[in-house]
Structure 1
Amino acid sequence: MIEEQNPWKKRFERERNARKESEALLEEKSIELWQINQDLEKEVEKRTKDLESALIEANKAHKAKSDFLANMSHEIRTPLNAIIGFAQYLSKSEKLDTKDSKYASIIETSAVSLLSIINDILDFSKIENGNFEIFKNKCETYKLCKNVVELFSQKMGEKYIDFNFNFDENIPKSIVTDEVRLKQVISNLLSNAIKFTQEEGSITFNVKLIEKNDNLALLLFEIIDNGLGIPKEKIEAILTPFIQLENVTNKQHVGTGLGLSICNNILKLLDSKIEIESEENKGSKFSFYLECNISSELEEELDEYVEEENYNINVLLAEDNSANQELMKLVFEELKLNLTIATNGFDVIEKYIHNPNLYDIILMDINMPEINGIEAYKEIRAFEKKKSLNSTPIVALTANAIKGDKERFIDLGMNDYLSKPIKLPELKTLLSKYSKK
């Protein structure tokens, strides 16, 4: 009987030992897996920290680059503001003879060209960094187009170009779009047409209404020239950055090769694109469609602010750059307006607090030493609140030209915005607007 039980006992022992070995092996493997899991968690934690550190460094580098671009924009535009402004004044001065007036005009044209190149480089950098944005506002359609045309009238006159501007009278008076960027696109296309159209050639600028309902309008912009044209194999390539077309009349490449690429990026953000039709030695047509909201509000607003030369307004200007101070003195002297200049942030606060009822508007340079324009603005508003005074309109002036500047300053509570170099028509419109208040 005992002998019969031995095989079962041995079998039981074997199974028990096998189970113990399995449990021991399982425990050993569990410990190994736990250790591996711990190591993986540590590795994931380390990698996460590394990625977070890398992201922080990337953000720092991105901010440093943005700050650098903002600073470079300010540093370059500030002297250009004075160069362009004084050149414009001299070229129109009756005190200069024809020869000197021509030289002043050349200085102005060269400075404006330099500004255009700087703008292209800065815009391309914004596009590369994903910082290029569209800011839509209400604007007057015809006036927008007419202002661009007037910018190029002298250049076209110098080349004896036959220019035709056709604006559909059924187009809504006011639309909602990015006025600055739309002007940039039209300006670039007109500038290219002038560059590649020979003397006594022709350029036509058409603005057509394709369709309209109560809220939306579809517009077509066309710029047609009988210039040099573009070889078929190069039409697609010219929308690529850094591609320059050769002006066959002088065998030189013209421009940076960025303008059309930037324009196409602007139009993409406006849900459009540049369309090109061209035939070599016969001419080109550049066009784009623009769908935009119709604004009825602006038509009422525009009627309120009719531009006048007889302004009744006292201006306080905060400007630390001596050349720009002299330029603004000259401009306001020509406009027969009262101008008080503050040389820094502390000075503008002191002058305003000393006589707050004297000034109808404050033009506030944002980038000033010691105390900047934003801090000065806050101090003035705090003083007005403490003394229960009406808020004096404060307009931000900046040469930074960085995305969202206008919106940022308006959100802070500033009343308006002007970018440098300051354009006289924009300044006149602004002064006319606030002289009514």
Structure 2
Amino acid sequence: MKLTTKLPAIFFLFGVMITGIVGSMILMGIETLQTVMLVALVLLCTLMAFALAQRIVESERHSPLNDDQKFLQDIQHHAIEFSATGIIVSDARQIKKPIIYVNQAFERLSGYAANDIIGSNIDMFHGDEFWLNASASVVSDDHGQPKFVINLLEDNTARKEAELELVRAQETRDELLRGMKLASNAGGICNWSLDINSGELRWDKAMFDLYGLSDSKPLTYEDWRSSVHPDDVEYAEKEVGNALEANTLFNAEFRIIHGFTGEVRWIKAAGDVHRNPNSEQYTLFGINLDITDERILQKKLEQESQTALQASEAKSRFLAIMSHEIRTPMNGVIGMIDLLRESELTQEQQRMTTTIRDSSFSLLDIINDVLDFSKIESGQMALEYRDTDLLNVIEKTLDLLRVSAQAKGVTLQIRHDFRIPALIKMDSIRIRQVLLNLVGNAIKFSHKPEREASVTVSTEYIEENTSLRISIADDGVGMTPEKISKLFKPFTQADNSTTRKFGGTGLGLSISKSFVEMMKGQIAVTSQPSLGSTFTITLPLNHSEFDDTLLRDYDFSDYTFVVMVKDSDIFEMCSHIISQCQPKRVIRKMPHSLDNHSRVIVVTLNEPMNIHDLTLKNIVLDAEQSDVSGSVTPQLYYLGSRPLNPSEMIVAAAVLCGFREPDSKTVEHTLLRHSSNNTEDYDIDKDNIVILCAEDQPTNRMVLERQLTSLGYRYEMTSNGVEALAAWKSGQYPIVLTDCHMPEMDGFELVAEIRRLEADKHHKTLMIAITANALVGEEENCEQAGMDDYIAKPVELEKLRSVLAANIRNHPMRTFASHENLPPRSSIPETNIEAELIDFEHLQNVIGTGDKKMIDAVLSIFWESLMSDLVLLENAISEKDTEQIGVLAHGIKGSAASSGALPLSVCFQEMEACKADVIKVNQLLASVKGMIAGIEEVLLQETNIKV
């Protein structure tokens, strides 16, 4: 027992003892002084003892044992106060059991401060619900009576939410597993896994059924491998190995042999490699699908696709053949008609030839429509975007249709929006074809004998979405909504009466719609019966690198335009064009007075105004002769007004205002340029240009010969590429005009060989293709083969003229030996030969007519060709060029047979056969010359040919 606990008892006993002593002394009669001294002594001792006791107590208070107890008390206080568990202490000795202590954890948990809680009952708490883990203990006194109640409260919300989330996840997982199982069963999905380390294979029941194996024993990798078709084992194992090696997805299709039935089934397998991070165990999980039915269907579809492709190719070949076969005779028809129109004919004969020509081109239009539709349908049609002057395309298209429109009493008009750039990116060929179809239809359906109709082509720039709108409006018969619904369908017109009345295949609108949609645009139509129709094309506007408008360089702000035109339509068109030039003003009557600084341009119709004031300029619109166009004087400019081309109106105003030079100096020069038959090649020196022609079809050869003769060109004609190549090697032909499709050597092979032989030469031969094949890719084939240009049959005289002229101007021409270098015909010895040297009856059967002029023409061509070939043949014989001898003999043999010179043909056939025997060839040459002399005599006697 500590000293401090004994001190009270010690002092108590000491006090009792002192009191007793003092009391005894008093009773014994001790003197007061002595007593006082004794008491003082006792008190002094007591004080000393008390001081000693106090020092002892203080010493004990600061002893290490007391510091530890205080430290432990502090730890207990902090542990309770800062515990994460809420603690509430209630006084159990009172009836309401008030709270006497709460720690900070309970304050955070309940949201109450300690001062608000102390003294309150625990039943006061309410608010948000949350999960608690609660426990309570009672502290009793020594007699077992409750003194305090200690409640421990722990927030268990997070754990409860985690438990609930886990339950929900398990439920979701179970649902997913049930869904996966259902999906697997419904979709025939079979599940498997492969332990990479042990090779153990686990399958579900569906896998066993799929492979036809028993599930009575454990499976291994070898069990699967032995089930795979022997031809697919290597492939399947390779795919599995690649997936394992690269740790990627496994995906393969292979065949298996069913274990029970022996049936071959197609399997689609997929899998993924999983690595267990704890055990480093690799497992390949995957699925199998039975795709046998899909494979069978796929094979069937491939066969059907192949059949369809073959059918499409057969159709394309058929169309190519039909195109070639139809165009070949049409070439003869149109070519001969062009030549016939050049001769002296009566008015009735001119009318008939025009009808024949128009009918021929109508047939060609039908052929072209069918071919275009076929290209679009087969996906072979391709667009070629290039910088295009849209206004120029519209104007040239309407110029092509001008004659047709005038014949039907239809006026053509153009309303152009000059905000559209002068050049835009588009396929000019396809947009021209769309315009030809739509404007051609508008002309056809606007014709009414009782009145003059009009067709207007309008353009508009749409700024909102940077697009272009082209409208073709007519005031013709119009259509009902029912008829409109039938438009744009192939081989369909509005109704049967349309076909009977107006003709056509019904392909034009379908093709136009396809072209517009290929250009990412739309086509629409609005119409009312008897009021007319409007077709609207909307296209995205693809800007060119040169994004300027036609009016950018012209400033008309100081000019007044006086449009003195009574015709309201022409006045409206002029005003629409001029107003976009932003002039000073546009008026209809001449001002009464003009100052010296006035700048006035007067527009009149048909007749120029009497200009006395040199400041005035005059544009004359000629309603009758649209070909008249040009500047006559610095004050006068003529324009055609049917149709009135906006670009020409702008040019006319710019020329008169001095903004640009005139394109031609006088109207007379313009008229001369249009009236001359030789305008496009008048500047070409044709004397030393000999054109080498290769054409296998006799009629086409004859037509081509006559056309070239009409154009003033010299030529040599061959019937195939072999003959043409042999002739070309002579070095006197700067131009080769060749058919693309010929026997022995076609045009493509011919040009390829010529390009190869002249690869190192500075001058290249001008190669122009002529073909009747108008299917897709023909032009590209010609270009890739090395052709410089391309002409589709039928070859029109003017087309041939323009193509030759344009290419000759663009290609440097060498100087070549002309036909004047050939030996004169009089040098051939004369021999008396009977007229049977030429079988005229046979010739009539060949050309299909007994017409004397036609027979003379054929024989004339034959004679000229024979003379040319004879010179080449003699050169080949002198040089012992057996190959050239055979080629020339073959060519003359064919032309002689076609011309009725059958004995000569037989002679050259023999020469071709013995071309290597030079002695024999020379003997035959002597016979040939004798026959030729006899043929010359026959021609002089029986024909009008000058030989």
TM-score, L = length of structure 2: 0.39
Q: Which has the higher helix share?
A: 1
Matched, 1:411 2:633: no
Rate the CA distance shift 1:435–1:224 in 2: closer, same or farther, 3 A: same
Counterpart CA distance in 1 for 2:490 and 2:309 is 26
Counterpart CA distance in 2 for 1:410 and 1:422 is 19
Residue number in structure 1 paired with 2:509: 260
Instruction: Please show how residues 22-101 of structure 1 align to structure 2 within 5 Å.
Output: 23-24=216-217, 35-36=257-258, 39-41=264-266, 55-90=305-340, 92-93=341-342, 95-101=344-350
Paired AA for residue 120 in structure 1: D
Paired AA for residue 332 in structure 1: L
Q: Which residue among 408, 416, 421 is the counterpart of 2:794?
A: 421
Residue number in structure 1 paired with 2:722: 346
Rate the CA distance shift 1:140–1:125 in 2: closer, same or farther, 3 A: same
Rate the CA distance shift 1:293–1:404 in 2: closer, same or farther, 3 A: farther
Residue number in structure 1 paired with 2:378: 129
Counterpart CA distance in 2 for 1:87 and 1:121 is 25
Q: Which residue among 662, 683, 696 is the counterpart of 1:310?
A: 683
Of the two, which has the highest radius of gyration? 2
Unaligned regions of 5+ residues in structure 2, if any? 1-213, 229-255, 268-291, 548-662, 664-678, 812-947
Residue number in structure 1 paired with 2:530: 281
Matched, 1:369 2:743: yes
SS at match of 2:258: helix
Rate the CA distance shift 1:53–1:139 in 2: closer, same or farther, 3 A: same
CA contact (8 A) 2:771 2:792 kept: yes
Q: Which moved more, 1:192-201 or 1:66-75?
A: 192-201
Question: Percent identity over the alignment?
Answer: 31
**CA positional deviation for 1:205:** 3.7
Rate the CA distance shift 1:321–1:150 in 2: closer, same or farther, 3 A: farther
Residue number in structure 1 paired with 2:832: none
TM-score, L = length of structure 1: 0.79
Rate the CA distance shift 1:235–1:47 in 2: closer, same or farther, 3 A: closer
Instruction: For residues 98-131 of structure 1, give each alpha carbon's deviation from its aligned partner in whole angstroms, at most 9, with x where no partner exists.
Output: 1111111111111111111122222222333233
Instruction: For residues 196-237 of structure 1, give each alpha carbon's deviation from its aligned partner in whole angstroms, at most 9, with x where no partner exists.
Output: 12234323342535169xxx9854333222110111222132
CA RMSD of aligned residues (A): 3.7
Q: Which residue among 451, 459, 466 is the counterpart of 1:208?
A: 459
**CA positional deviation for 1:381:** 1.0
SS at match of 1:277: strand
CA contact (8 A) 1:242 1:256 kept: yes
Counterpart CA distance in 2 for 1:167 and 1:332 is 41
Instruction: For residues 148-187 of structure 1, give each alpha carbon's deviation from its aligned partner in whole angstroms, at most 9, with x where no partner exists.
Output: 3233223222222223244556655555433332222111
Counterpart CA distance in 2 for 1:272 and 1:48 is 36
**CA positional deviation for 1:373:** 0.7
Paired AA for residue 359 in structure 2: S
SS at match of 2:345: coil
Rate the CA distance shift 1:146–1:79 in 2: closer, same or farther, 3 A: farther
Counterpart CA distance in 2 for 1:329 and 1:173 is 42
Q: Which moved more, 1:257-266 or 1:333-342?
A: 333-342
Counterpart CA distance in 1 for 2:795 and 2:468 is 29
Residue number in structure 1 paired with 2:761: 388
Matched, 1:294 2:544: yes
Counterpart CA distance in 1 for 2:802 and 2:477 is 38
CA contact (8 A) 2:470 2:537 kept: yes
Matched, 1:195 2:444: yes
Q: Which moved more, 1:321-330 or 1:49-58?
A: 49-58
Q: Which moved more, 1:122-131 or 1:370-379?
A: 122-131
Counterpart CA distance in 1 for 2:421 and 2:467 is 10
**CA positional deviation for 1:430:** 2.8
SS at match of 1:190: helix
CA contact (8 A) 1:88 1:105 kept: no
**CA positional deviation for 1:46:** 7.2
Counterpart CA distance in 2 for 1:24 and 1:36 is 18
Paired AA for residue 395 in structure 1: I
Counterpart CA distance in 2 for 1:99 and 1:158 is 18
SS at match of 1:86: helix
SS at match of 2:758: helix
CA contact (8 A) 2:477 2:529 kept: yes
SS at match of 1:310: coil
Rate the CA distance shift 1:56–1:240 in 2: closer, same or farther, 3 A: closer
CA contact (8 A) 2:752 2:786 kept: no
**CA positional deviation for 1:66:** 1.7
